[in-house]
Structure formats: structure tokens, C-alpha cells
Copies of this chain bind each other. A is one copy, B any other.
């Protein structure tokens, strides 16, 4: 019953979190093989109380492996996919390289686990903001299909990888000393600032990150007609993404129906008690797997509309935990 698991891009933020989640969830591991570029070979990474040594990611590195968890960028994922397939392993990939490929299931286990059965060697892990948002919405979508969604994101610096939080903290430190700081990870200073660009720009004026919410949302929810307008903004928060979502359902739902849908949605926690100042906040959702949902209220611009606010840890449910959950389906 045990599986041999490789983590491709093991030294990154998501790769290390995947190993943490594998251990926490008691994944039945035979061999764990962390893979990274040549200059990380021999580096020891934590796996529970143990240490495992990083091996070089080469085309021959997947022999004997059952599942490869991909935590690398698109180019690395594409470069190694053929070798992974040839080795007979299933590639659960967190990059965006294969997400919209019709032959590749795109999975949030709570929503469309059934789609994973049709894989042909690759299963894609969705975009982090898309995961957090759809986790909040899918049980509502089951009550009455969501027709349109307007979303504004508040995305943590961890979304840029392990160097994102490092740059934010280094900037805060430099500013406190009155020293100059040249941003490398982000386009501009992110400390005490907001950057309304994540990813590159496409022809329609949206960024690649913004279009993922519609493109991936349609595939995951089996809703090819879903219309989404998204604005993605980087904020000086360490780790959890937050989303302000206003959506219109086919039929009018009551606030109580929507709250009940969220309350009973696996992987969600309803945190919606404004009178007691209880609502989701990124600080409270970091380092755990639940997506917190609150501020549920009638959209004042549409009788069938609802507005809500949700937060989730983008490194965990937004990436590593979701990937390990997919591996558990196999």
C-alpha cells in the first residue's frame, strides 16, 4: 500500500510545505525523494523528525517512484513531464503549465475529485487564489449555479515563493533604518504598499493571474459559461490570500442558505459573526488548511447577488495540502 513519492522543487516554499503536509497527514510513504537543481544536492530537508537529502532532478531521477509532487515553475514542470510519464509515476503538478490541457484533470478534491480518475499521467493543482475562492463558493454553486463573479484579491507575498516573505521583511527592516532597498522579487516596494499586478499582462488588459480565476474556475466547477472579472493585488501580508467576492447565482438564495452551504462545506469554516467582530483575517488562517468564509450579505447591485470575504493559507490549501490531497486520491 505504500507509495514512493518524489518532490520536484523540494527546496522551495511549496516543496518544503508538501513534505511537511505528507508527514502531518501520515501519507503512506515508502521512499521520499526530494529533488532539486544540482546546487542543492546533499542539502538536508526536514521530514517530520527525520532529515532527507536532496537529490539532483534529472531525467533518471524518477525511477521506482509512484507519485511526483511538482512544486517547480512551468519550464521545469514541462521539461521533466515526459521523463516522469516514462517512469510510470503520476505527476501531480502545482505549476500552471498543464492546468488547461483538456487531457489533464484540474482538481480540488472537495469539489471535483471524480475528475482525477481520467488522468493520463498528469494531474494539475489549481492556482492558489482560485483554490481559496472556489473552496468558499462550491457548495453555494451546488445550491444554484454561479453565473458571474467579480473578485478582488489581496494576495500574500508567499505567493511569490520563499523569497517573497524574505523580501518583505528585509524591506521593512531597511525602511526602519532609513536604508535604501532594491526590490528583486516584486516589481516595486511591497512594504506598506500594494502592487496591482501579479503575473504578466494579456491582450485584454487582465494579468495571467487574473484570468486563472475564470479559466480554471470553469474547468473545476464544470461551468463553461462562468464569467469572472478578477483584479489581483499583492499586499504586504506574509502568507494567506484573501478574496472579496461578489457573485450572482441563477436563483435567488437567502443569506441563511448561503451561510448553511458554507457551514457544511468540507474544508471551509464559517466565520461570520459581525456583531462579535468575527470575520476571516489572513493572520488567523495561516499555517492551517481550512478556508475561512464570512461577511456574507446581499449584493446591493443585484437581487440574485451575494458578497462575501474569504481567506486561506496559499502555501497550504492553496498549494501543498491540495496537492497531497490529490495524491491521496490515487
Give A contacts to B, CB under 8 Å: 148-150, 152, 154, 172-173, 176, 187-189, 192-197, 201, 204-206, 214, 227-229, 231, 233, 235-238, 242, 244, 246, 255, 274-275, 277, 279-283, 294-302, 305, 307, 309, 311
Contacts and interface: CB of A to CB of B under 8 A. Distances in A.
Copies of this chain: 2
Given A150-B299, A205-B296, A187 B244 contact: no
B229 A274 contact: no
A283 B236 CA distance: 12
14 contacts: A150-B150, A150-B299, A173-B176, A192-B236, A193-B237, A194-B242, A197-B279, A204-B297, A205-B296, A206-B297, A228-B301, A229-B246, A229-B305, A233-B244
Contacts of A172: 172, 176
Given A197-B279, A233-B242, A235-B235, 16 more contacts: A152-B231, A154-B194, A192-B236, A192-B238, A194-B237, A194-B281, A204-B297, A227-B300, A228-B300, A228-B301, A229-B299, A231-B246, A231-B295, A231-B307, A231-B309, A233-B309
Main secondary structure of the interface of A (DSSP, over half): mixed
A228 B307 CA distance: 12
A109 to B, nearest CB: 27
Contact of A205 (B206, B255, B280, B302): B255
